[in-house]
Amino acid sequence: MKNLKKSKIILKKFGKVISLCMAGVLTFTLLSGCGGKGDSTDKSTSADADYSIEATGSPYAEGIMMKELADPTVVYMTNTTWEFITQENKENAPTPIYHAMSIWKEVYGQEVTIDLVDWDSYTDHLITATASGAAPDVMRYYEETRHPVWAVRNLISPLDEIMSLDDPDYDLDYSKRYSIGGKYYALFGKSMPLSHISIVYNKTKIKQSGQKTPIEYAAEGKWNWTNFVNLCEALTNVSKNDYGLTGWNYNASLAVPLSYIGDDGKIVNNVDNVEYRSMYGKLYDILITDPIARRDTTRMDARITLPKGQDAMAFIETLEYPQFVDTALSNGGIYEMGIAPVPVLDFLGDTTVRGSAGTCYAGYAISSAPQNSEAAAEFVRLVTKVATNIAKKSGEFGTLTQYLNDEEKSVFKELEVNTTYDYVPINSALSGSTKYQSTIWGSGQISKTAVQLIEADKAAINASIAELENTVS
């Protein structure tokens, strides 16, 4: 398990990403001539700033003081996830950005402008907007899907050069994962509990089939990939268009990275790793070889099919769970929802390793060419402090407390303490290098094996790595 152990320490190595990045990242400019109204050297949240306004407009504004701004105009870029999270169930699943925008409007009398961008166009949109001089001020920055690409291509600013990071409400330990050469490129508040990928399932449907539920397996210490697949098989009836698994982000349950930072500080193409190939072979099996998972579906699809009893399970961001429960209730309460951790990857020979953590743990970055650097810094400061307030007020199980039964609480509490959640860094951050992944769970016809798909894309992955390293060489 040498390679798996290496994957477990990726994040520690990732924090020092490529010492070679240090010099280049601060000098390289992909997009020449990019400028904005703001001055990137203005530490607008320094200790002597005039924080004289008490934040109001949200239950999570407590203790936050804000500064007077000559111009409170700020543009916030995010993907379609924002629309999903903030438009529904705001109080039961509060998100920092929603409450920060509410406070901003209350304090400054001005709405935050939303630059809503489709997930697949997220980076391209930022490149185009920056090149045209119309870059957003602040961007949602989460997972290691944008880092270090955005930083080394000078699409975002080192936060240390714009604002003070000396605040106990900031989670600098986590933020270090997004640093290069000692410079921070994303800022996070204190994490809410249970901020990771989980399995949501139709408890009624599984019970009616005579099977154990995922949480029952987890309580027994037997919730692993083998039992997960067996459960999917028992709950799949293709002739009735009914599957054991649906939704999105199937690879979120997996732990071996596409690439990682080696001991020499260089990015390593990991596709030849037998564990990585085994991992994606398992995805291929459940989606193609013996279909027990629905292909080409979204998280929104899962929110419809699961509460209605069509499909049985889905990978979700844990904090989405209230929406599944409430949807089931709005459908007459015929079906009861349940939640459990993702299964242990027993096919890797390990009893603790699960899939990614932190997927819904959003941080915030500032453009390399913000239109209003002062407002950008203040908004990042505000949303980060709001995130910490939400975590403080939410308690041990966060805003999920009212949705978890005693068995679920017991399992999650134990897992939070005793389970290693590996994350998948530098996965889709390698632009154009994950075509075979989307091919597997897309709707198109598959004429190649999982290994053949990976082999066909190996050159593209190496090219992406070379491009990234050449940028900072």
What local confidence, expressed as pLDDT, does residue 181 receive?
Answer: 75
Together in a domain, 367 and 232: no
Together in a domain, 145 and 130: yes
What local confidence, expressed as pLDDT, does residue 422 receive?
Answer: 45
Q: Considering only residues 315 and 470, tell me which one the structure prediction assigns the higher pLDDT.
A: 315
pLDDT higher than threshold 90 for residue 334: yes
What local confidence, expressed as pLDDT, does residue 91 receive?
Answer: 56
What local confidence, expressed as pLDDT, does residue 416 receive?
Answer: 60
Burial class (CB in 10 A: 0-12, 13-18, 19+), 418: exposed
Contact 286, 293 (CB under 8 A): yes
pLDDT higher than threshold 70 for residue 365: yes
Q: Looking at the domain assignment, is residue 336 inside a domain?
A: yes
Which residue's structure tokens are 């996965």? 427
pLDDT higher than threshold 90 for residue 10: no
**pLDDT, mean of residues 192-201:** 73
What local confidence, expressed as pLDDT, does residue 265 receive?
Answer: 62
Together in a domain, 140 and 157: yes
CATH code, domain with 414? 3.40.190.10
What are 244-272's pLDDT values in tens digits?
A: 999 876 766 677 777 766 667 677 788 88
Q: Considering only residues 412 and 14, tell me which one the structure prediction assigns the higher pLDDT.
A: 412
Q: Looking at the domain assignment, is residue 167 inside a domain?
A: yes
Residue 267 belongs to domain spanning = 197-355+403-459
Together in a domain, 168 and 224: no
Q: Looking at the domain assignment, is residue 467 inside a domain?
A: no
pLDDT higher than threshold 60 for residue 128: yes
Q: Looking at the domain assignment, is residue 319 inside a domain?
A: yes
As for how many domains the chain has, the answer is 2
What local confidence, expressed as pLDDT, does residue 16 receive?
Answer: 31
Rg (CA), the chain: 22
Together in a domain, 432 and 449: yes
**pLDDT, mean of residues 347-366:** 71
Positions of E strands within 301-391: 313-317, 337-341, 363-366
Burial class (CB in 10 A: 0-12, 13-18, 19+), 96: buried
Q: Which of 371, 394, 417 is the last residue of a domain?
A: 394
Q: Considering only residues 226 and 91, tell me which one the structure prediction assigns the higher pLDDT.
A: 226
What local confidence, expressed as pLDDT, does residue 429 receive?
Answer: 54
CA distance 471 to 233: 47
Together in a domain, 81 and 123: yes
Q: Which of 394, 416, 445 is the last residue of a domain?
A: 394
* Phi and psi based region of residue 221 (left: phi greater than 0; alpha: psi -120 to 50; beta: remaining): left
DSSP SS3 for 267: strand
What are 171-189's pLDDT values in tens digits?
A: 888 788 778 778 899 998 8
Together in a domain, 169 and 252: no
Q: Looking at the domain assignment, is residue 263 inside a domain?
A: yes
CA distances from 184 to 17, 167, 366, 473 (A): 12, 14, 11, 20
Q: Looking at the domain assignment, is residue 169 inside a domain?
A: yes
pLDDT higher than threshold 80 for residue 61: yes
Together in a domain, 315 and 425: yes
CA distance 124 to 393: 37
Least confident of 99-103, 218-222, 282-286, 413-417: 413-417
Together in a domain, 216 and 340: yes
Tokens of 258: 């596409």
Q: Considering only residues 222 and 427, tell me which one the structure prediction assigns the higher pLDDT.
A: 222
Together in a domain, 410 and 268: yes
Tell me what the pLDDT averaged over the chain comes to. Answer: 78
Together in a domain, 48 and 88: yes
Angle in degrees, CA 59, 64, 69, rounded to 5: 115
DSSP SS3 for 241: coil
Together in a domain, 176 and 208: no
Q: Looking at the domain assignment, is residue 268 inside a domain?
A: yes
What are 450-469's pLDDT values in tens digits?
A: 889 888 888 888 887 787 77
**HSE of 356 in the Cβ direction (CA atoms, 13 Å)?**
23
40-44, 281-285, 430-434: range with highest mean pLDDT? 281-285
* Cβ neighbour number for residue 27 with a 10 Å cutoff: 8
pLDDT higher than threshold 60 for residue 205: yes
